C-alpha cells in the first residue's frame, strides 16, 4: 500500500506530538521511618499520576521487604546505599533518557549525592522536601512507639563520631556539630564528601554534575523542629561565633552562641565547592516553603510537582 507525503507527515507529527506529551519519568526517595512501598508513598505516587497522567514513577528502595527497607533508613552505610540506588536506577528502561526526582527529608540529600557522584541516567529537576543538605546539629526526637528509631537515636547520641556509628548509623553520617568541626572533618565520610568540605580532596565532578541540573528546588518546612537547624533545607548552617569566657562562680565557663549562616554567605557557595553557586547564578536554585512541621506536606507539593516534575 502506498503512502502519500501528507499521510507520512501526519503520522510522524502525531507520533512526535504523543512523544512530546509524555511526562518525564519521576523517581522518589522516601524519608526516615518510611519505605518505598508504604501506604503513604503509594498514595503520593497515585496523586502525582492524577496531576501528570501517564507518568512513570519509580520509588527507590534499599530492600524490597517493607520492614527491612524502613530499617535501612536508620541502619546502614549511606555511601553504599547511594551506590546501590544508582545501580538500581541504571537498569530501568523507562529512566534511561533521564528523569525528575523528589526526595523526602534525608532522601533529598541522598538524591543529591546520586547527582554529584553518578547522575547516569541524569536528573533534570530535583525537588527536596525538608532535606538536611548541610547536616543536623541535633538528633531528631522519635515517636514514643517507634522502638527502632529510639534505639538508633540513643546509639547515635552516645558516640556520634565513633567509627562504628559513622559506618552504620544513617543519621550519624549527616550529623554536623558546629562546636566540634575538627572531629566531624576527621570522621565523617558522607556529608563531608558530598559537600566537598575537605581541602585537598574536593571532587570537581561533583560540582560539574550538580551544576548540570535544570532546577534544584529546596523546600523548607516553616515550623520544622525535627531538622536542626531547619535552614539546612536551604543550605543554611550554624557556626559558633562566641567562645568568650565569662565569670561563673570560682571558675569560668564557655559561653557558646550559634549563628545561622545562609547559603550565599558560606564558603561552600562563595568558592563553589559543589557547583551550587553556578547553578544559582543562572537561576537554577528555587527556594520554596511548606507551612507547618517537618514533612507536613499537605497540599503544598502540588504546584511544585506541576511546575518541576513530569
Catalytic residue positions? 105, 224, 294
Q: How far apart are CA 173 and CA 113, in angstroms?
A: 13
Burial (CB < 10 A; 0-12, 13-18, 19+), residue 107, is buried
Phi, psi of 247 (to 5 degrees): -60, 145
Q: What angle do CA 129, 135, 141 make, to 5 degrees?
A: 75
Phi, psi of 280 (to 5 degrees): -65, -40
Q: How far apart are CA 231 and CA 253, in angstroms?
A: 29
* DSSP 8-state code for residue 44: H
- Rg of the Cα atoms in the chain: 22
Helix (H/G/I), strand (E/B), else coil: 156: helix
The pairing of strands 257-261 and 123-129 is unpaired
Q: Length of the chain, please?
A: 310
Q: Are 300 and 47 in contact (CB under 8 A)?
A: no
The x, y and z cell numbers of residue 68, run together, are: 527491612
Number of neighbouring beta carbons within 10 Å of residue 122: 15
Amino acid at each position: 500500500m502506498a503512502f502519500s507525503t501528507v499521510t507520512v507527515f501526519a503520522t510522524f507529527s502525531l507520533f512526535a506530538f504523543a512523544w512530546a506529551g509524555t511526562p518525564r519519568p519521576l523517581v522518589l526517595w522516601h524519608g526516615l521511618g518510611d519505605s518505598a512501598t508504604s501506604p503513604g508513598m503509594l498514595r503520593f505516587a497515585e496523586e502525582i499520576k492524577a496531576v501528570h497522567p501517564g507518568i512513570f514513577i519509580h520509588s527507590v528502595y534499599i530492600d524490597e521487604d517493607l520492614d527491612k527497607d524502613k530499617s535501612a533508613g536508620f541502619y546502614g552505610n549511606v555511601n553504599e546505599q547511594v551506590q546501590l540506588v544508582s545501580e538500581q536506577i541504571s537498569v530501568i528502561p523507562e529512566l534511561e533518557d533521564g528523569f525528575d526526582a523528589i526526595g523526602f527529608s534525608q532522601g533529598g540529600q541522598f538524591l543529591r549525592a546520586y547527582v554529584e557522584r553518578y547522575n547516569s541516567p541524569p536528573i533534570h529537576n530535583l525537588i527536596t522536601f525538608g532535606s538536611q543538605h548541610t547536616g543536623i546539629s541535633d538528633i531528631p526526637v522519635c515517636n514514643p512507639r517507634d522502638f527502632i528509631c529510639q534505639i538508633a537515636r540513643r546509639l547515635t547520641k552516645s558516640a556520634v563520631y565513633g567509627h562504628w556509628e559513622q559506618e552504620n548509623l544513617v543519621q550519624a553520617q549527616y550529623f554536623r556539630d558546629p562546636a566540634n568541626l575538627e572531629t566531624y572533618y576527621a570522621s565523617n565520610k558522607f556529608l563531608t564528601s558530598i559537600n566537598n568540605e575537605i581541602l585537598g580532596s574536593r571532587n570537581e565532578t561533583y560540582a560539574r554534575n550538580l551544576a548540570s541540573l535544570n532546577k534544584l528546588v529546596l523546600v523548607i518546612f516553616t515550623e520544622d523542629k525535627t531538622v536542626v537547624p531547619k535552614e539546612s533545607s536551604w543550605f543554611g548552617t550554624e557556626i559558633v561565633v562566641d567562645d568568650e569566657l565569662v565569670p561563673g562562680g570560682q571558675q569560668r565557663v564557655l559561653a557558646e552562641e550559634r549563628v545561622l549562616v545562609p547559603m550565599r554567605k558560606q564558603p561552600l557557595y562563595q568558592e563553589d565547592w559543589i557547583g551550587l553557586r553556578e547553578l544559582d547564578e543562572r537561576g537554577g536554585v528555587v527556594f520554596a516553603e511548606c507551612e507547618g512541621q517537618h514533612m507536613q506536606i499537605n497540599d503544598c507539593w502540588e504546584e511544585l510537582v506541576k511546575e518541576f516534575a513530569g
